[in-house]
Structure 1
Amino acid sequence: MSSLIKSIHRKLFTLISIAGFAAVMSSSVSAIGQSPEEIAARIAPVGKVCIAGQECEVSSAAAVAANDGPRSGEAVYNQFCTACHSIGVAGAPKFGNAGDWAPRVAKGFDNLMSNAINGINAMPPRGTCATCSDDEIKGAIEYMTENSK
């Protein structure tokens, strides 16, 4: 009985191996009918590395921010801050909640700016807006504090 089971296992393993090889070959064959341009587009790198001091392309998010001019505090809040500040994720002061904001405002605007730019607790530097200028961060803070009195 044991030799019968071993024989069945070997045959099953062989069949599975052949099926796997056939599947790999069929996917490789489908690439044969593609033009060199189609293949190049399919295997092109997703991104590029930019080294300081070299001529580099501007990332699309940064290009959009640069071309559209500075974003309003409300626009920055709605795009980058609302995910955490609307519901108080990880202790973030909630938008519109004077009790959450009062102790932070009491420490001064410079402290709020420093925390926003450098990060604090679970908040990363610049929140989630790596492309925001200091003025845009300032506008977002002003928008949140003005609407949380």
Structure 2
Amino acid sequence: MDKAEAYRQLTEEIASVVAGETSETARYASAACLLAQAFQPRFFWTGFYLVDPLKPDVLVVGPYQGTLGCLRIPFGRGVCGHVAATRASIIVPDVHAFPGHIACDSASNSEIVVPVFKADGSLAGVLDVDSTEFGAFDEIDQAGLVEICRILLTA
């Protein structure tokens, strides 16, 4: 099956699993697990960094699958902080060339980060996916992950 079809099927599965679930943590944890399982080993680290309600300009690690993640990331720092500040998705084919990249795990070589929004339009956090491969992500990944984040919003 091609990647677009894999995302389509995974989107349906995630939507079914999180339907009616009121806990954001449960929705994010389920999505991270299903994404990591569906695309392993290409997805080396898959998870969420959430806006800290006590420090709204800082992301704090949320549900994820993979090696130890950074605990906190200020808005504007690294790839995740960049997406939190700009509220726009980004594909980084080589994280080592990204200005200010934060190396939470030195095995990561490429990354895609998608903003996650609340129903009121405010930023809930970001979905971060890392790969040990260079250039592992493309527009198909971006479209699929954006759609999955939209489902998490409306669950």
Q: What is the TM-score with the length of structure 1 in the denominator? A: 0.28
Choose between structure 1 and 2: higher strand proportion: 2
With normalisation by structure 2, the TM-score equals 0.27
Larger Rg: 1
Give the helix-richer structure, 1 or 2. 1
